[in-house]
Structure 1
Amino acid sequence: MFSVPNLLADEASGLFFPESASTFSQQSDTVFYAITIVCVLFFIPITIALFGFASKYKKAKGEQAESQVDHNTKLELIWSVGPSFLLIAMFYFGARGFMEQRTIPEGAYEIGVKATRWNWSFNYGGTTQNSELHVVKDEPTKLVMTADTVIHSLFIPAFRVKKDVVPGRFNYMWFRATKASEKLSDEELAARKQVYKDASESWSYEKEGYTEDGYAFYDLYCTEYCGKDHSMMQTVVVVHETREELEAWVEEKGKRQPGVDPVTYGRKLYESRGCKSCHSLEPGVKLAGPSYAGSFGTSRELTDGSSVTMDYGYIKESIEDPKAKIVKGYAGVNMPSYKGMLSTDDIYCLAQFIKSLNPNAAKQEAEEADSGAAVAETGTEADVTSASE
């Protein structure tokens, strides 16, 4: 996502900043360039005069310097009062920009933001939450932000906005995006998705430059060190042309669409709801939480010495009440509750995805299903046993 090489390669970028895409960005850039020009215009003649006078009035080694204590009132007033007006102007334009960013317009479109280690979650109302920030062009957007355990900081370079996200309190940020995100055609998007499907790989935002829905995006990331995966706490911002387009996207993301199988949707939830930040899909890889690989259907030892089977019930309970049954070795992990944030179907799809990571569990369920079908057909389990013999 956002990096110095990407910035240098971005044709829409300026000399120091990425593409300007909000009302604040033009104002901030103007103040920055004005201050930079003033500083350079003072720095160059002062530096030339410094070296010039040092060379002209250099005394030979051992020669006693003469006392030349004197002053010029007119000159001193000029170099003191003159620059003061420049400093006042810098303060005025900087303070005006600061106050505009602090004054949120009435009727701004409100989006809830929750920062966790190490993921962003954006609430669009109800159970519709996503790791991507989607807003509307030329409409004010208000972010209501909080964090679960540590301080984070939300920064959108293209919008020139940044604000700390603090546990136990709400901070606010607003902006007005001015450039809508480009969207791939349905044919182009389908072709790109097919490449990843054939390779059994997940969609790459960085490689494609587009979201999985086909939108070009702006970068958003955390600029407050928040732990070992701080550098991975980044996501994307998409700007829609109209409110109707945004609402259609929100409605689509609020539930599983017809034809989308539970495993595929469960994987999307795993990637978008922060699960991947703490739970690996690789066997034996320990992150903040235990790995999902091969876990479904297995017995897990808990911190109190008891054990539990990793099944649908345990997954649902752990999502809604993470502290109820903690796996041994993870007592200090502070996972937030997702109760009310995921629908019953969401939890089912996540469980189906986790189950798909254990071929033995899927095989066992298939055998049980075949056995059940045979029982239904013959009438008794004894008949099934006899048939198998």
Structure 2
Amino acid sequence: MREYPRRGGPPAADLGVDDPRHRSHVLVNRMYFAGFVLLGFFTLFDLFVTGYLVDATVEAVTLVLISILWLRLQRTGDLDGTGWAASAIAGVAILAVVLMGSAPDGVVAWVPLYPVVPFFLLGCRRGALCAGIYFVVVVGAFAFDLMPQAQGFAMPTVFNVGGALAGATAILYWYEHSRETAAAALRQAADTDFLTGVANRRSVQRTFDAEAARARRHGRPLSLLLVDLDHFKRINDTHGHEAGDAAIVHCAGLLAAGVRGEDTVGRIGGEEFAVLLPDTDAAGAVAAAEGLRQALEDRPVPWRDAALPLTASIGVAVLGPTDDFTTLFAAADDRLYAAKAGGRNRVVGPPPPTENVVSRQKVLDKDGGVR
């Protein structure tokens, strides 16, 4: 399964809730509004109540910076840049208040809260990196006596702050690591065909959307193959459904082994598979389809003490200027049925010969159906 890039992209409103970027967008927005409220309150509080002008200035500048950062995110969708910048801004702001501010010891209570920002915005590993750097800076600031003597930081304060920061980092690391592992397992299960281990229809369609956008952006071709096993019903009727499952798994393995790393193989239902071929024109797609068809014909399904012959019919379509997944799928499906009508175990690519374009209703076989 392809990972979606975090750098650049659409706003959260244009993403499905199952897209990994959706959670990041939502977290950024919620953390921004929480930060906006907190910074706005403490800016006014320190300005008009405590009189801590340095603290109020730092808080006001931080409020402006995160607002600019949030507006940039809405325009660019750059989650990576936003996460790193927000982590840096939060860290510098907290240290600035602690090192230069006028508040007493209580201000260091904000220090252990810092790891929340990088862990939630950057994920487990990069969040741990930011929190580790921050821990070294904070402990170093205490160790080298960089705190104003007027604030009177006692040694118990130093140990408590360092311990709380380390504890918060450890807890957040455990939480984020567990969450990322569970989320990856759920995405894998949701995007994978349970029998074959290749992509399911949902995953194929989502990958198509990303690849089609890339193909149009860079003026590159994109092809789709629809592969359907011939006379599959006979295998089930003659050898049982376990043999049918073995045939499907065997087909999936041969298809996956016969394509490039950037290609996508998916099972879209029953004995039918789809293969997405980025950067592949009609001639290349037909050649690839012919290679897959030949591999299936040459390698029968190993079943107990027998070898079950297996062939497939393949329809090929190439992305056009106005095609979406539905129209491209329909074009490939028409050619798949043309391959069935032409005798099976063959490839039909674009443009299809007029005499081979047939409707589903006209294609019949001895099993009483097109399959």
Smaller-chain TM-score bracket: under 0.3
Q: Output the TM-score relative to the length of structure 2.
A: 0.28
Of Structure 1 and Structure 2, which has the larger fraction of its residues in strand? Answer: 1
- The one of the two structures with greater contact order (alpha-carbon pairs below 8 A, sep at least 6) is 1
TM-score after normalising by structure 1: 0.27
Higher normalized helix content (fraction of residues) = 2
